[in-house]
Structure 1
């Protein structure tokens, strides 16, 4: 099974930290050209500038990843730097708590815009470019691969993260819909649904409330919190030739958490 992505060009959003950063770095290590994109310019500069110095494989782009103009400029910057795009990973996420009984829908709308609509619109934009590239080359090879990141909240709603949970569920459904729509164009679309991963958000939660570490570990059959690099490995598989016949799937990377009921989890 080939996991080679050497020579491919990838856009990774949310690449300034955590899971997105781990994915982008893994792609670079495997020989891909990578555009690191994030909304936090200072953070992106701090993470990427040293690695990018003298490395023609790396570029960075900072802008609000939920804005249409920013998305168009991101794609243009990628084409200017590398001439094409073969891989898109939508790892940009924003998590905000919400009151499930509050009638104010602002938080819900923001969570949908930041976590679902941004990924959907970026996928549509990049897919059109992938189709054009395939038409120009007139080849029979795969035209591109897209991966969307969501979390277990999409299948197991968290009451005080209701807006985020709804956005994750919507993104999973959008992933499957795009997979069907883009399959005739030889573009594969998959998702990774994760939980119990040492993401930026997880680190923040553990700083605020260290005691939840024990609860997470107790509810995870494999008995630990995964490293971001482990999620990066899954994403790399999905965009590689090794997953050439895989599309429309949402792979769950959660240490078995989603298959353990609350009673079983309390005994682990």
Structure 2
């Protein structure tokens, strides 16, 4: 098992990519700290892990609040003794609208969840990993972190920011034994995708057609990429953006 005896933290672990990755970590024998705002969904992720003979706890936290982020890392260390891996996955799509129609409140919400949340998470995760002399962090960006989506200007900006933040942090802490990378999915079968498309079949069909591979992805396919970046299989990989996009960006 590639993560045996490791302690892994997953933000946004209540559904979708976060839940799939939390379960995948546990299947590789990591102890998992599931983090999210929704208690019922978070406890369900923990239940699914325990059903498969894994070990996990749930920590309710909002990644836009510094006290919550500090508490989630402190809880991981108090329960499991250390923090080896962090998957900073909590995020929001924001609104599909023209730039001139977007509001200050939408800007604040999108940037706070997607960028501030990743920055705060890394701030406390890295502080713990420095004490240990090692660690691996994976941040969730998007295809929109590499190319632009014209109807999602704020989302595009926030996901580009995650890539830049990751590169800078990766360079700063490379010699400290901490690797920091980005996973960048395109459209994935999640509740967030349903919300973004409004559940409209014609919109789903259009988005599916944008992917050269001929379909959208699954949460497990993203989880497998995160597993690689989190493990020693990627021991010489840092500051990189791994596309999991069915060829979307290549075109």
Q: Distance in 2 between matches of 1:202 and 1:39?
A: 19
Q: Among residues 28, 31, 40, which one is paired with 1:30 in the alignment?
A: 28
CA contact (8 A) 1:41 1:63 kept: no
User: 1:141-200: per-residue Cα shift (whole Å, max 9, x none)?
Assistant: xx0000000111223322332111111000110000000001011100000111022122
CA contact (8 A) 2:49 2:55 kept: no
Aligned residues: 250
List structure 1 runs of 4+ shifted beyond 4 angstroms. Answer: 53-56
1:171-210 to structure 2, matched below 5 A, reads: 171-206=162-197, 208-210=199-201
TM-aligned CA deviation for residue 20 of structure 1: 0.4
CA contact (8 A) 1:52 1:59 kept: no
CA contact (8 A) 2:23 2:49 kept: no
Is 1:234 matched with 2:232?
no
Q: Distance in 1 between matches of 2:183 and 2:236?
A: 16
Q: Distance in 2 between matches of 1:45 and 1:63?
A: 13
Q: Distance in 2 between matches of 1:53 and 1:242?
A: 27
User: 1:32-52: per-residue Cα shift (whole Å, max 9, x none)?
Assistant: 000000111122123323544
Match of 2:93 in 1: 95
Q: Distance in 1 between matches of 2:122 and 2:17?
A: 19
Match of 1:111 in 2: 110
Q: Give secondary structure in 2 for the equivalent of 1:93.
A: coil
Q: Distance in 2 between matches of 1:172 and 1:50?
A: 31
TM-aligned CA deviation for residue 221 of structure 1: 1.0
CA contact (8 A) 1:39 1:62 kept: yes
Match of 1:17 in 2: 15
Match of 1:149 in 2: 140
Q: Give secondary structure in 1 for the equivalent of 2:59.
A: strand
Cα distance change of structure 1 residues 179 and 198 upon mapping to structure 2, 3 Å threshold? same
Q: Distance in 2 between matches of 1:69 and 1:155?
A: 31
TM-aligned CA deviation for residue 207 of structure 1: 5.3
CA contact (8 A) 1:153 1:165 kept: yes
TM-score, normalised via structure 1 length: 0.88
CA contact (8 A) 2:34 2:45 kept: no
Between structure 1 and structure 2, the one with the greater Rg is: 1
User: 1:8-59: per-residue Cα shift (whole Å, max 9, x none)?
Assistant: 0010000000000000000000100000001111221233235447967211
Cα distance change of structure 1 residues 53 and 155 upon mapping to structure 2, 3 Å threshold? closer
TM-score, normalised via structure 2 length: 0.94
